[in-house]
């Protein structure tokens, strides 16, 4: 199947879009994309450097807090005060010593909101506090007191291990203090100040996502004094170690959209389109006037000629000299085609009439001789109805052969009448061993067919095999196949290699017929009347028969 072609208009539109408008838009788009990629790489590199630096600063801040928590355990001041309390049971002295120690060592630290001791002995029932950097208040005391039970519960199995706890949005650093028997008697708790701890993160700008993981606990800082748990997302991760505790910074860079961040790119793309648009309109108008419309005129004229309007002339004015020349050449060609067709048609009609007359005059007299011999034989024996019937059949055949009325086309019913007359004579000649089977579509009986187109094929079947074999089976079929009328004659018999070559030669031959009527007569008449639409084939079948098939266009009723 032939590939469908696009129209000239579609092709030109495609060329304009692909070769003009698309490259400009593509150039602007690629420029914006490359600009965005360049900025994105630069931003990611800067964020990578800032994230690593921020992580180091937070690591240093936390290591300082860890060192301060260790000093409480190592310098022994709190342990000595607690030992004195165990001897004197003076809780006020214990509280005063602890509070003074914490105030002297922690109150000036900017990185802590509060530092306090939680004693494990229930009888003590007192905490020592140091509120750092001038921060104090009942709300902060209440937060510390509310966190105390949670801290004690979390630190019971931790020995002297350092722990980070997130309680009520506040990050705590805790460590147990051991007595001389290595039993925990108190816990030092440092409430870290988020604004100081997370201050280095401000250098990261405005990332898409920023999270901290401390010992697997994921949280984020939102600028207030508290921290909130978060879900970990995709992005960049940076890790650091603080005495066996893992500190991780997770950052997701915000995607950079060059079109949103640089509105001038949109203006540039729009300006380019506006500059190109007038040129496109002008080009389209010129193309339509000087190329598309003249081509459409030529296509329309060609279709009219194909539809049968031979001699059609283009009357439209050509927009340029090139198409003016084409229009003139087309008109000349159309006029010459009309003249040649009329001459050819008249010549072909004359030739067909002459050749058909010649073909119809070449009926083999051998058949008439055989028929007369049979009639003569019957007459010598005795006169009866069979002789009359045979003479009537012979009369019908003579009418068909002589063609007194000069008709070249007759109804299919009449053509089958000629065949029946012939078959009656053959049946009388061959006797009971000759059998004819008919499969006729009666709706086709009034359709026009060439005179004597079927009888010569039946005669060929009878004379070639059935007479030689003394009878046999013969099938006669008439049916429609789409727009074609099909006539089939099938009979028992076979062909030798010489027969096949002879048949093939007769079907190929275009020379004048001399001698027999047969398949060459019918084949040439079909070609003369119908051209390539008419055909005759003769083939052996797989069931031991020979099938002759005639095909030609089915004439409409009334033609």
CB distance 394 to 422 below 8 Å: no
Identify the top-confidence range among 21-35, 215-229, 301-315, 524-538.
524-538
116: DSSP letter: E
- What is 354-400 written as a DSSP string? HHHHHHHTT--HHHHHHHHHHHHHHHHH---HHHHHHHHHHHHHHHH
Neighbours of 190 (CB within 10 A): 25
- Most confidently predicted of 46-55, 291-300, 408-417: 408-417
Q: Return the closest-CA partner of residue 441 out of 403, 476, 489, 405.
A: 476
Q: How far apart are CA 81 and CA 95, in angstroms?
A: 9
Query: What is the C-alpha to C-alpha distance for residues 149 and 415, in angstroms, rounded to an integer?
Result: 120
Q: What CA–CA distance (Å, rounded) separates 77 from 91?
A: 16
Spatial strand order in the sheet of 209-214: 227-229, 217-221, 209-214, 245-252, 236-242
> In this structure, are residues 147 and 216 in contact, taking their beta carbons and an 8 Å threshold?
no
Cβ neighbours for 547, distance < 8 A, ≥ 6 positions apart: 488, 489, 490, 538, 539, 540, 541
CB contact burial 265-301 (16+ within 10 A = b; e otherwise): beeebeeeeeeeeeeeeeeeeebeeebbebeebbeeb
Question: In whole angstroms, what is the distance from residue 453 CA to residue 116 CA?
Answer: 125
User: Within 13 Å and on the Cβ side, how many CA atoms surround 324?
Assistant: 5
Per-residue DSSP letters for 213-267?
EETTEEEEE-SSS-EEE----SSEEEEEEETTEEEEEEEEPPPP-HHHH-HHHHH
Average pLDDT of 244-273? 70
Q: d(Cα 23, Cα 27) in Å, to the nearest integer?
A: 6
Q: What is the mean pLDDT of residues 523-539?
A: 87
Helix axes 385-402, 412-430, angle to 10 degrees: 140
Tell me how crowded residue 90 is: count the other CB atoms within 10 A of its CB: 12
- 68 backbone φψ class: left, alpha, beta (φ>0; ψ -120 to 50): alpha
Distance from C-alpha of 165 to C-alpha of 149, rounded to nearest angstrom: 13
- Specify the domain boundaries for CATH 3.30.565.10 within the chain: 361-553
Q: Which letter, b or e, does each residue of 305-327 get, where b requires 16 or more Cβ atoms within 10 Å of its Cβ?
A: beeeebebebeeebeeeebeebb
3-state secondary structure of 415: helix
d(CA 356, CA 275) in angstroms, rounded, equals 74
Q: What is the DSSP letter of 145?
A: H
Cα 460 from Cα 455, distance rounded (Å):
9
Q: Where are the alpha helices (DSSP H) in 246-364?
A: 258-261, 263-287, 293-306, 321-360
Tokens, residue 209: 């996502």
Q: Which two tokens stand for residue 333?
A: 């060609």
Contacts of 488 by beta carbon, 8 Å cutoff, 6+ apart:
475, 476, 477, 478, 547, 548, 549, 550
- Range from 80-94, 139-153, 254-268 that averages highest in pLDDT: 80-94
Task: Assign 514 a pLDDT band (cuts: 50, 70, 90).
Answer: very low
Burial class (CB in 10 A: 0-12, 13-18, 19+), 437: exposed
Q: Which residue has the tokens 């505790």?
A: 245
Which residues make Cβ contacts (< 8 Å) with residue 514, sequence separation at least 6? 362
The answer to whether the beta carbons of residues 466 and 434 sit under 8 Å apart is yes
Q: Confidence band (pLDDT; 50, 70, 90) for 401?
A: low
Q: Cβ contacts of residue 326 below 8 Å, gap of 6+?
A: 294, 298, 318
Residue 118's closest CA among 149, 87, 142, 143?
A: 149
**pLDDT at position 225:** 47
pLDDT for res 95: 84
Region 382-395: what's the mean pLDDT? 63
**Whole-angstrom distance, CA of residue 509 vs CA of residue 511:** 6
Range with the largest mean pLDDT of 184-193, 286-295, 378-387: 184-193
What is the total residue count of the chain? 559
Q: Answer whether residue 491 shows pLDDT above 80.
A: yes
More confident residue, 520 or 487: 487
Give the N- to C-terminal CA distance of the chain in Å, as an integer: 34
Evaluate whether 40 touches 252 at the Cβ level (below 8 Å): no
* pLDDT (average), residues 382-407: 62
pLDDT digits 0-9 by tens, 467-481: 888 888 999 999 999
Residue 139, token pair as written in the block: 């709300």
Structure tokens at 230: 């978060």
Domain 361-553 has CATH 3.40.50.300: no
69 closest CA partner among 111, 127, 8: 111
Determine the pLDDT at residue 473: 92
More confident residue, 504 or 28: 504
The rounded mean pLDDT for the chain is: 77
- pLDDT, residue 230, reads 45
Confidence bin at 334 (pLDDT 50/70/90) = confident
């Amino acid at each position: 199947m032939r590939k469908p072609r696009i129209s000239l208009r579609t092709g030109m539109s495609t060329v304009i879009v692909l070769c003009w408008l698309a490259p400009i838009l593509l150039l602007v788009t690629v420029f914006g994309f490359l600009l965005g990629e360049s900025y994105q790489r630069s931003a990611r590199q800067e964020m990578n450097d800032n994230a690593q630096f921020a992580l180091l600063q937070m690591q240093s801040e936390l290591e300082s807090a860890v060192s301060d928590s260790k000093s409480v355990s190592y310098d022994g001041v709190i342990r000595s005060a607690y030992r004195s309390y165990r001897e004197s049971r003076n809780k006020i002295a214990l509280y005063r010593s602890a509070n003074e120690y914490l105030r002297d060592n922690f109150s000036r630290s900017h990185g802590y909101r509060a530092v306090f001791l939680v004693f494990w002995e229930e009888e003590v029932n007192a905490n020592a506090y140091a509120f750092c950097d001038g921060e104090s208040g009942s709300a902060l005391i209440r937060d510390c007191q509310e966190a105390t039970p949670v801290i004690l519960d979390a630190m019971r199995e931790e020995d002297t291990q350092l722990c980070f706890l997130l309680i009520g949005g506040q990050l705590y650093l805790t460590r147990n203090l051991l007595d001389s028997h290595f039993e925990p008697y108190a816990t030092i708790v440092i409430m870290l100040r988020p604004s100081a701890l997370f201050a280095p993160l401000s250098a990261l700008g405005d990332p898409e996502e920023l999270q901290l993981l401390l010992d697997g606990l994921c949280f984020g800082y939102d600028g207030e004094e508290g921290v909130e748990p978060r879900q970990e997302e995709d992005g960049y991760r940076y890790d650091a170690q603080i005495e066996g505790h893992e500190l991780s910074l997770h950052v997701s860079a915000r995607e950079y959209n060059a079109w949103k961040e640089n509105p001038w790119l949109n203006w540039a793309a729009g300006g380019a389109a506006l500059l190109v648009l007038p040129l496109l309109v002008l080009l389209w108008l010129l193309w339509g006037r000087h190329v598309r419309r003249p081509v459409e005129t030529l296509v329309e004229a060609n279709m009219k000629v194909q539809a049968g309007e031979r001699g059609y002339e283009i009357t439209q004015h050509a927009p340029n000299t090139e198409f003016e020349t084409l229009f003139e050449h087309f008109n000349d060609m159309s006029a010459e085609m009309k003249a040649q067709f009329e001459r050819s048609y008249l010549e072909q009609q004359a030739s067909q009439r002459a050749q058909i007359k010649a073909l119809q005059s070449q009926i083999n007299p051998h058949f008439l001789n055989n028929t007369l011999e049979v009639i003569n034989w019957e007459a010598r024996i005795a006169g009866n109805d069979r002789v009359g019937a045979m003479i009537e059949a012979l009369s019908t055949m003579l009418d068909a052969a002589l063609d007194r009325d000069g008709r070249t086309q007759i109804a299919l019913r009449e053509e089958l009448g000629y065949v029946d007359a012939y078959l009656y004579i053959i049946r009388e000649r061959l006797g009971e061993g000759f059998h004819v089977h008919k499969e006729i579509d009666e709706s086709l009986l009034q359709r026009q067919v060439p005179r004597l187109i079927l009888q010569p094929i039946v005669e060929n079947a009878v004379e070639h095999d059935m007479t030689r074999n003394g009878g046999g089976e013969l099938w006669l079929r008439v049916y429609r196949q789409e727009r074609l009328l099909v006539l089939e004659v099938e009979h028992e018999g076979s062909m030798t290699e010489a027969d096949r070559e002879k048949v093939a030669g007769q079907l190929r031959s275009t020379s004048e017929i001399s001698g027999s009527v047969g398949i060459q007569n019918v084949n040439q008449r079909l070609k003369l009347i119908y051209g390539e639409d008419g055909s005759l084939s003769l083939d052996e079948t797989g069931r031991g028969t020979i099938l002759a098939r005639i095909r030609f266009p089915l004439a409409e009723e009334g033609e």
